[in-house]
């Protein structure tokens, strides 16, 4: 969408990265997972998606790039409806990093894994090489380009998994439990990477301190509906809200006393 010189026309930057409207979905076995979700995420926002197990978080995420369809309501990514005719472009715009990086890494070398998506989209030659190099540089893994992924540490594999998605130059980066199984150093390194990215981030997590560290805004999904939406610190300090939706802070962690990095 091109910006117009007309003052009455919205610019491209004013179009939300993500608009979910009245999204309801039941699985074929009859289980109703979503009951009418409304969510808008602006360009460049970092938002944490919180909620207990079974809340519908995975179901919502799988609608964002058209893996699941057929329910009521709709999803738009950068103004483009998530529907069959748009799926190729939608899946370029929305990159999902799964909880287990080994679900995304299957090629003999890191370089080939990162190149796989752009190559499948038709990119070749110097342009493909430049795309791969930029993606690896953004996650600090350029020196490992020729290493087999299974020779890397878990934290390094997670960073490569992020690079495979960044190589597609997405508008939205969706991360499923990004801090799980990371040691403290790897956790900090990933946080530094995520803060440096100029994309919209939706982070699905049970790691509430990580949500506070990285996401100024959080959304609580519970029972298939949005139960709360606001500044992360405010939500984490609401003891009654947290208790009602089975969200628990680590022992001794007080969000009111934490200084969040800029």
**Does residue 186 lie in a domain region?**
yes
Mean pLDDT of 196-218: 96
**Does residue 31 lie in a domain region?**
yes
Predicted local distance difference test score (pLDDT) of residue 39? 97
End-to-end CA distance of the chain: 31
**Does residue 5 lie in a domain region?**
no
Closest CA to 236 of 253, 222, 251, 223: 253
Predicted local distance difference test score (pLDDT) of residue 4? 37
Record the pTM.
Answer: 0.90
Name the residue range of residue 35's domain. Answer: 17-104+172-248
> What is the count of structural domains for the chain?
1
Question: What CATH number is attached to the domain comprising 53?
Answer: 3.40.50.300
Predicted local distance difference test score (pLDDT) of residue 32? 95
Closest CA to 197 of 55, 35, 44, 28: 44
Q: What is the pLDDT of residues 110-153, one digit of tens each?
A: 999 999 999 999 999 999 999 999 999 999 999 999 999 999 99
Predicted local distance difference test score (pLDDT) of residue 110? 97
Question: Looking at the predicted structure, is the pLDDT value of residue 5 above 60?
Answer: no
The secondary element (H helix, E strand) that includes residue 73 is strand 72-77
DSSP for residue 195: H
Instruction: Quote the CA–CA distance of 8 and 123 in Å, as a whole number.
Output: 37
**Does residue 24 lie in a domain region?**
yes
**Does residue 257 lie in a domain region?**
no
**Does residue 118 lie in a domain region?**
no
**Does residue 152 lie in a domain region?**
no
Mean pLDDT of 156-180: 96
**Does residue 120 lie in a domain region?**
no
């Amino acid at each position: 969408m091109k910006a117009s010189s007309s003052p009455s026309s919205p610019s491209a930057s004013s179009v939300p990265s993500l608009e979910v409207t009245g999204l309801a979905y039941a699985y074929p076995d009859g289980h109703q997972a979503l009951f009418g979700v409304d969510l808008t995420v602006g360009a460049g926002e970092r938002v944490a998606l919180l909620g207990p197990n079974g809340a519908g978080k995975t179901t919502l995420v799988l609608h964002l790039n058209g893996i699941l369809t057929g329910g009521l309501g709709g999803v738009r990514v950068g103004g483009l409806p998530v529907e069959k005719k748009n799926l190729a472009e939608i899946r370029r715009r929305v990159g999902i990093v799964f909880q287990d990086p080994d679900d995304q890494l299957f090629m003999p070398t890191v370089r080939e894994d990162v190149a796989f998506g752009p190559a499948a989209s038709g990119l070749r030659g110097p342009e493909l090489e430049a795309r791969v190099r930029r993606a690896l540089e953004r996650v600090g893994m350029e020196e490992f380009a020729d290493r087999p992924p299974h020779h890397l540490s878990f934290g390094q594999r997670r960073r490569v998994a992020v690079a495979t998605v960044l190589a597609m130059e997405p508008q939205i980066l969706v991360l499923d439990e990004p801090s799980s199984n990371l040691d403290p150093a790897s956790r900090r390194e990933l946080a530094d990477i995520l803060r440096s990215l100029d994309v919209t981030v939706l982070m699905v997590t049970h790691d509430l301190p990580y949500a506070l560290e990285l996401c100024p805004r959080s959304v609580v999904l519970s029972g298939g509906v949005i139960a709360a939406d606001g500044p992360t610190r405010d939500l984490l300090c609401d003891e009654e809200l947290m208790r009602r939706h089975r969200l628990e802070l680590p022992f001794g962690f007080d969000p009111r006393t934490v200084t969040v990095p800029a």
